[in-house]
Structure 1
Amino acid sequence: MSVELRRRRERRAPASAGQERLWLIEETSGGSATYNVPVFLVWREQIDVAALEAALRFVIERHEALRTAYEVHEARLLQIVRDPEVPPIEVIDADSMARVRDEAARRGSEPFDLAGGTVLRCVVWRGLPDGDALLLVVHHIAMDGWSLQPLLDDLAIAYEAALECKRPLADELPVQYADFAVWDRAMAQTPDVQSLLKERADQLFEYAAELVLNGHSGSPAAGEGSRPGRQRDFPIPPEVTARMGQLSLSLRVTPFVLWFAAVQAALYRWSGRREFLVGAMTANRNHAELERLVGFFVNTVPLRCAMDSDLSFAELCRKARSEAFRSLSHQNLPFDQLTAAVNAARGTGRSALVNVGFVHQASPTGHARWAPPAELSTDSAKFDLLVIINEVEDELTVTVEYDTDLYSDDVCGRLGDTLVEVLTAAVSDPDRPLHEFLGEPPVVQKTTSGPTPRKGEGALLTAEHRRAAELFIAVLGDGSRYASVGAARGLTADANFFVLGGHSLLAVTMLAEAERRYGVDLSPREFLADPTVAGLAKALTSAETRRNAPAIVVGHGPHPATSAQQRFWLLDRMPWLRSAYLSPTVVELTGEIDREALQRAVDTVLARHPALQSRFTLDRKERRVHYRTDDLPAVTTVTESPTDLREHLAKICTTPFDLAKEAPVRADIVCLEDRTLLTLVPHHIVVDGWSAQVLLDQIATAYRRDGDLAEPVHPAAVAEPVDADHVEAVVERLRGAPTDPPLPHDRPRGEFQSTEAAAVSVRIGEERLRQIREVAVGELGCSTFVISATLMGAALARSCEGRDFLLAFPWSGRDSTGAADAVGMFVNTLLVRVDLTGAPTWRELLARVRDDAKAAYRDATTPYDSVVEALHPHRDLGRPPLTPLYVTSTKEPDLPLPFVRNLAPDPLHIKYELELNAIERGDDLEMELAYATALFDERTAHGLLDALVAATADLSDDPDSQP
């Protein structure tokens, strides 16, 4: 099965498997330089900084990977392509090249903020005798070694053009990195690749893990990650370099195979291991369209090494050629999946498949304006040992990078020297037996035919273990053989998260769940050190011991964002959803209005409420959003008779906020000839529906000057504490409910959710409503909300094939003392089930929905995000989480004078696909149905309302009939 690699022009895409691995390492390392790529260029002249800035802009425009940010959404890592923006070029006066190199090495080791989208930095040193110096630092998630040549080539072309004030002549690249990532993910799921993964895992199973050299001084690390490291170079003598090409030809092997054989021999010499694995870093660019593209394509390919000292170097090369050909033909097999497959067979959980790496690379050449780039160390190591073969023009150098916690410089030196000796002997006599020039290896390490998978005889769970097991179940869900929450008792203490089907991003999700449930902050590193039930239980206990529960001090902050606020902050990162989470109110005033007094009243109210002065930022160390409330308030604007009123209001109501820098509210007064309009647009992250009414009431009071305004309430002082202990109860109540019911869509969903909407409405009629209330309210004790949800479910069942529906609805969350006058975001999202299966009567269905709604209210403080993650539907970005349906019940608002009526927002944006608002208007009930115009035609929306009216008639006529 083949998947097409093509240009998609998408700004959001899943990260590639390789990017996901690097991202997790960054998360577990807490600001490491392990995957920084510092490129140091010594120029032969003075740098024109303006031309350099223009050249960088061209390169960043041309290669989307250089302007991509990363965020997690529903346990998936996404890459977000941003608009081109050149990072500030720092210019420093230099006094000596030695100091410049030291400073460049230091700056090359400063960590990146991957969520912020800055993956490239630039520094220029001026004033050196022979020319300036330039440091480009790029994160490895955006480029690999192959990428360096096209990056510098494009930079050179663009720089030359900028000096002449011209646009560089360059064809558009056929694909971008996001296109590769989509292809990469799709290919990994094809039956052919999955079959190859299993086949290759079976081949690697018998090779024992963790190659250890004589002189090793620590415990083997857990694979790739952040560790202290050092590099040491070993130049290959020119006479050996000159003869290696001829040796490759005579043995009919590639230079890669030649080096692979030499590395095997040197590792055998100092490990004594006859059979072992080495991880080769491969380019993984199997399409011509990828050759000139900057991005992270490299993959780790485990190569099997089977040594015998009686072999000659020529024979070893022939064996290496066979293994390399077999392995490198599958270099697109995702390394993480391969590792997981082998570990699952071994029963070893999450352990390294290879801990010694090997890479053969050609370094970029120089340019007319600069010398070949110099390598700078970041004082970190990616493996226990990494052997790097660098080809720079006609020179060869071996670089050994090693973990200084595990190996000494002496051990590294012996390995490098042996590698040079092997090559020197090989070019002289490739048929000479290896043992004649390798010497005696240390005592040969015995290997087994592979570890035996562990049985499930671990200890039974203690109380501490049980909550850890429940966290396992909360995120593993149906991906685990322990599919139900109740089965947590069946897990043993040594049950391993990764053996049960977990993966790295799910581990991060689980730790976030632990924070929500228990208020503890666990780093991925703490969990990955022992990814078992017992290990997580120990980490939870340790984190609780560290935690000091501070008293709530309601100052300006920083305050941790609530669960809902964190969700809204994340949704604001998605361009297509940003307008949906604004809450515009447009009210009309008629008659004689003192517009200056109105402006003062609005400004007074906006400046009083701390929530409206919030600024939100992400604490990357804690992986949590915080806000402060001491920034400048919003100021009301006044617009005189705009040329196009609709366009003006649309701009006011739909323009997103920069939540880190702007007040999360705007107000505008439109002055027309016969009336005045006040538009108030807060972000949903700081207000709910109740808050909007509080604001209008207080603005009216301030304008009329006929009363005192209530003292402002800080939202942190009255926020209802969340209760994550009831997630299991909610999940059990909803288990089996369809999260994607059949709906009468006129068009299929797109890749990204559309929020543009329209609305239609109908009145039930006073007599019909009275008859329904006699039964539903008088006999069964149902609220208007329960009636509305029941009718919506019945209307949907008559319009499509579904008989079971899950509806989201809001809960005010204002039970705390003092919350009535607070402006803030206190709403939580709850879920109610309308289940028409089993042919219930109207009475029975109303009772079902009533009881389910009561259960939802009992667990009303359970964070919605926790429920989403526990139910864990495999959502894409084209629809809301858990359900596309939303219902709410409200009363017709009483507008305080001088406001006379509300105007509907135009354009309308909604958060779900269908939203029903039941509005009590006196003795009548208006059913307003908002629908996503990307999915439904107006005709279909009217059809749903017709079905709802018909259901209303049936219920009122005979409550003992079936819906």
Structure 2
Amino acid sequence: MENSDIAGLAEVIEKHKNKGSKEHDAIVRASENTDNLPLSFSQKRLWFLDRLSEKSTQYNLYTALKLRGNLDRKSLQKSLDEIMDRHRILKMAFREENGQPVQVYNPEAKLDMVFVDLRQVPEEERERQALEIARKEAAKPFELGKAPLLRASLLCLDNDEHILVMVVHHIVFDGWSFGIFLKEMTHYYEMFRSGKGQKLEELSIQYTDYAYWQAKRFDEGLVNNQLEYWKNKLSGDIPVLDLPLDKQRPAIQTYNGAKFTASIPSDLVKKLKKLAGKEKSTLFMVLLAAFKALLYRYTGQEDIVVGTPIANRNRKDIENLIGFFTNNLVMRTRFSGKTSFLELLRQVRRTTLDAYSNQDVPFEKLVEELHVERDMSRNPLFQVLFSLQNTHISLEGFSEINASIIGIDNGSARFDLALDIREAGDGLKADFEYNTDLLNQDTIKRMAGHYRQLLDSIVQSPEKEVDMLSILTREEKTTMLNTWNSTEVDYGDIPCWTKLFEEQVKKKPHRVAVRDKERCLTYAELNSSANRLANYLISKGVVLKQ
């Protein structure tokens, strides 16, 4: 989640300070008990979703690291063991007790890294096979009752080239946690490999302490003001975004998905950042406003609701804790085609800052409090997600290993459509993840082109009304102006269309030429009527070109 606007951040922080000191009591160790521990609100939602759709993989998180250099497998395994011991959430299993989900600590749970040797495979085939193995691992479901909910595989392509694949269930992990995990993994790897360095300082709290603290805050009414904000913001009927789908929506939501990636070049990104700075906004706000404008152009709806994830790490004591902290914020914007983009951006800015300052209400609690009627065919409150990932994951801790992240796709989608934009050098990559039971790749490819063109139009004329901003790509304009208007047909020596008609009369006199609701005429009948009309006009003195 991106928010680099200093003034905006100051505004958000100041609002949090004014909410009262009780909200910022330190999280403390709640209990040393290892059985029947409470779940956070976010964990409860994933537990119930898993019960509804067992063996689903939409909440699998995964990454793949290419490791080049002299890798010490034993040191790597030891580093994984240390992280497992350090973060108790990684040894949790989930079960039901008296009708309620609980998590249970399993101290003996181990993460045994699976080694797959591909050196006997032809060299040109190794990476393809490795990526296929990684994809299958990412698409393999977890059983929440069995710890650990984390898998690791080390694929050996050559003596100095490996791919480390990690797959973990979202109920114990989030995107921020990957950064913590990799940072600690490199620290411990170098410590074991070199025999130098010290273990990291013991964590003062664990994720279950956060779950206790979160529930306590709600019980004491410390989040009531924030909850009221969301109830007002989302009052009335929440609109369902009516995207033009390629296929009929199934009665029960499916999670089959695919991903299409488009590029946003560095020169365009510079212009977008310049616009953001001028309007006291952030790049995230500009990109979100543009996405909302695109959704309006696709649907014609003037009340657009989009979800966006936030790290929810706004406390120092949970910054270095692995676990599921991410929250989804509901961004609702009302505007019309007559609204200028600058006006839309300002509205999105206000909505975003307000949402940040009220981020402590879990999405799951919001759904419960709003009494949202459950529709089994779609997600509650929003069906489209937008995010900008700018959290830098450091892979520079290895001294003898060069590490880089490889993209893999497990073939699932949690929403109808999710646009995830991430940094790529000086430019951006836009990942369009879509439900393949609703949308085709050609549709998403066109949408990606329209989004890129819309961004170009915005930086050129941000004062224009949303309806007036161009979304057609150069290829689409060429097709419309040239290809579709190229209607010439070579009819040989026939000088004009009347001669062509007479030729058709001779060839097929009894074929139907014209038809209306009442009757139809053959070519012979139409020709006869045309001749009678011509003779009548001549008799009245009408001449050629008159």
Q: Give the TM-score category using the shorter length.
A: 0.7 to 0.9
- Asked if 1:325 corresponds to 2:349, the answer is no
Partner of 1:121: 151
Aligned-partner Cα distance in 1 for 2:232–2:133? 48
Q: Which has the larger radius of gyration?
A: 1
Amino acid at match of 1:139: H
Please, which of 228, 240, 249 is the counterpart of residue 210 of structure 1?
240
- Asked if 1:152 corresponds to 2:191, the answer is no
- Once the two structures are superposed, residues 82-140 of structure 1 have per-residue CA deviations (whole angstroms, 9 ceiling, x without a partner) of 21643221111123111111111111111112211211111111133761111111111
TM-score by length of 1: 0.43
- Asked if 1:354 corresponds to 2:382, the answer is yes
Please, which of 388, 392, 395 is the counterpart of residue 366 of structure 1?
395
Partner of 2:439: 407
Partner of 1:620: none
Query: Do the aligned partners of residues 212 and 152 (structure 1) sit closer, same or farther apart at CA in structure 2, a change above 3 Å counting?
Result: same
Report the CA distance between 1:191 and its aligned residue.
2.3
Report the CA distance between 1:168 and its aligned residue.
3.9
Any runs of at least 4 consecutive aligned residues in structure 1 with deviations exceeding 4 A, and if so which? Answer: 346-351
1:217-236 mapped onto 2 (5 Å cutoff): 217-219=247-249, 227-236=255-264
**SS where residue 371 of structure 1 aligns?**
strand
Please, which of 396, 412, 418 is the counterpart of residue 450 of structure 2?
418
1:667-816 mapped onto 2 (5 Å cutoff): none
Aligned-partner Cα distance in 2 for 1:396–1:32? 31
- Once the two structures are superposed, residues 506-530 of structure 1 have per-residue CA deviations (whole angstroms, 9 ceiling, x without a partner) of xxxxxxxxxxxxxxxxxxxxxxxxx
Aligned-partner Cα distance in 1 for 2:53–2:70? 38
Please, which of 347, 360, 365 is the counterpart of residue 337 of structure 1?
365
Please, which of 303, 310, 320 is the counterpart of residue 282 of structure 1?
310
- Once the two structures are superposed, residues 297-338 of structure 1 have per-residue CA deviations (whole angstroms, 9 ceiling, x without a partner) of 111111102232233332221110111111221112121221
Amino acid at match of 1:128: D
Please, which of 279, 285, 291 is the counterpart of residue 257 of structure 1?
285
Aligned-partner Cα distance in 1 for 2:341–2:86? 46
**SS where residue 80 of structure 1 aligns?**
strand
1:520-669 mapped onto 2 (5 Å cutoff): none
Please, which of 381, 386, 389 is the counterpart of residue 421 of structure 2?
389
Report the CA distance between 1:167 and its aligned residue.
6.2
Partner of 2:518: none
Report the CA distance between 1:221 and its aligned residue.
7.0
Query: Do the aligned partners of residues 168 and 126 (structure 1) sit closer, same or farther apart at CA in structure 2, a change above 3 Å counting?
Result: farther
Aligned-partner Cα distance in 2 for 1:127–1:146? 29
1:91-102 mapped onto 2 (5 Å cutoff): 91-94=115-118, 95=121, 96-102=126-132
- Asked if 1:15 corresponds to 2:48, the answer is no
Amino acid at match of 2:94: Y
- Once the two structures are superposed, residues 20-61 of structure 1 have per-residue CA deviations (whole angstroms, 9 ceiling, x without a partner) of 111222222221111111210001124321111100011112
- Asked if 1:165 corresponds to 2:215, the answer is no
Aligned-partner Cα distance in 2 for 1:153–1:17? 27
Report the CA distance between 1:422 and its aligned residue.
2.3
Report the CA distance between 1:236 and its aligned residue.
0.9
- Once the two structures are superposed, residues 880-909 of structure 1 have per-residue CA deviations (whole angstroms, 9 ceiling, x without a partner) of xxxxxxxxxxxxxxxxxxxxxxxxxxxxxx
1:904-919 mapped onto 2 (5 Å cutoff): none
Aligned-partner Cα distance in 2 for 1:55–1:172? 15
**SS where residue 185 of structure 2 aligns?**
helix
Query: Do the aligned partners of residues 295 and 64 (structure 1) sit closer, same or farther apart at CA in structure 2, a change above 3 Å counting?
Result: same
Aligned-partner Cα distance in 2 for 1:351–1:294? 26
Query: Do the aligned partners of residues 7 and 372 (structure 1) sit closer, same or farther apart at CA in structure 2, a change above 3 Å counting?
Result: farther
* Contact 1:46/1:126 (<8 A) preserved: no
* Contact 1:210/1:352 (<8 A) preserved: no
- Asked if 1:40 corresponds to 2:64, the answer is yes
- Asked if 1:135 corresponds to 2:159, the answer is no
Amino acid at match of 1:325: L
In structure 2, list runs of 5 or more residues that go unmatched: 1-21, 473-546
Partner of 1:757: none
- Once the two structures are superposed, residues 457-512 of structure 1 have per-residue CA deviations (whole angstroms, 9 ceiling, x without a partner) of xxxxxxxxxxxxxxxxxxxxxxxxxxxxxxxxxxxxxxxxxxxxxxxxxxxxxxxx
Query: Do the aligned partners of residues 366 and 4 (structure 1) sit closer, same or farther apart at CA in structure 2, a change above 3 Å counting?
Result: closer
- Asked if 1:177 corresponds to 2:201, the answer is no
Partner of 1:30: 54
* Contact 1:210/1:220 (<8 A) preserved: no
Amino acid at match of 1:65: I
* Contact 1:45/1:130 (<8 A) preserved: yes
Aligned-partner Cα distance in 2 for 1:341–1:37? 28
Query: Do the aligned partners of residues 39 and 83 (structure 1) sit closer, same or farther apart at CA in structure 2, a change above 3 Å counting?
Result: same
Partner of 1:957: none
Partner of 2:28: 6
Please, which of 136, 161, 164 is the counterpart of residue 106 of structure 1?
136
Partner of 1:87: 111
- Asked if 1:197 corresponds to 2:199, the answer is no
Aligned-partner Cα distance in 2 for 1:281–1:340? 18
Deviates more, 1:262-271 or 1:153-162: 262-271
Query: Do the aligned partners of residues 244 and 130 (structure 1) sit closer, same or farther apart at CA in structure 2, a change above 3 Å counting?
Result: farther
* Contact 2:307/2:330 (<8 A) preserved: yes
**SS where residue 123 of structure 1 aligns?**
strand
Deviates more, 1:398-407 or 1:213-222: 213-222
Partner of 1:266: 294
**SS where residue 171 of structure 2 aligns?**
helix
**SS where residue 256 of structure 2 aligns?**
strand
- Once the two structures are superposed, residues 440-464 of structure 1 have per-residue CA deviations (whole angstroms, 9 ceiling, x without a partner) of 9xxxxxxxxxxxxxxxxxxxxxxxx
- Once the two structures are superposed, residues 385-442 of structure 1 have per-residue CA deviations (whole angstroms, 9 ceiling, x without a partner) of 11111124534111111111111212222322222222223333433333222459xx
Aligned-partner Cα distance in 2 for 1:437–1:88? 54
TM-score by length of 2: 0.75
Aligned-partner Cα distance in 1 for 2:431–2:417? 10
- Once the two structures are superposed, residues 142-192 of structure 1 have per-residue CA deviations (whole angstroms, 9 ceiling, x without a partner) of 111111111111111111111023564322223221111111222233324
* Contact 2:28/2:209 (<8 A) preserved: yes
Aligned-partner Cα distance in 1 for 2:159–2:277? 45
Report the CA distance between 1:207 and its aligned residue.
4.5
Aligned-partner Cα distance in 1 for 2:346–2:317? 32
Query: Do the aligned partners of residues 84 and 130 (structure 1) sit closer, same or farther apart at CA in structure 2, a change above 3 Å counting?
Result: same
**SS where residue 247 of structure 1 aligns?**
helix
* Contact 2:81/2:111 (<8 A) preserved: no
Q: Note the aligned Cα RMSD (angstroms).
A: 2.5
Partner of 1:245: 273
Report the CA distance between 1:233 and its aligned residue.
0.8
Amino acid at match of 1:54: K
> Identity percentage over the alignment?
27
Aligned-partner Cα distance in 2 for 1:142–1:247? 39
Partner of 2:91: 67
* Contact 2:450/2:471 (<8 A) preserved: no
- Asked if 1:52 corresponds to 2:49, the answer is no
Aligned-partner Cα distance in 2 for 1:31–1:288? 36
Q: Which has the higher contact order (CA 8 A, sep 6+)?
A: 2
1:865-876 mapped onto 2 (5 Å cutoff): none
- Asked if 1:299 corresponds to 2:321, the answer is no
Q: How many residues align?
A: 437
Partner of 2:459: 427
Amino acid at match of 1:157: H
Aligned-partner Cα distance in 1 for 2:432–2:141? 23
Report the CA distance between 1:19 and its aligned residue.
0.9
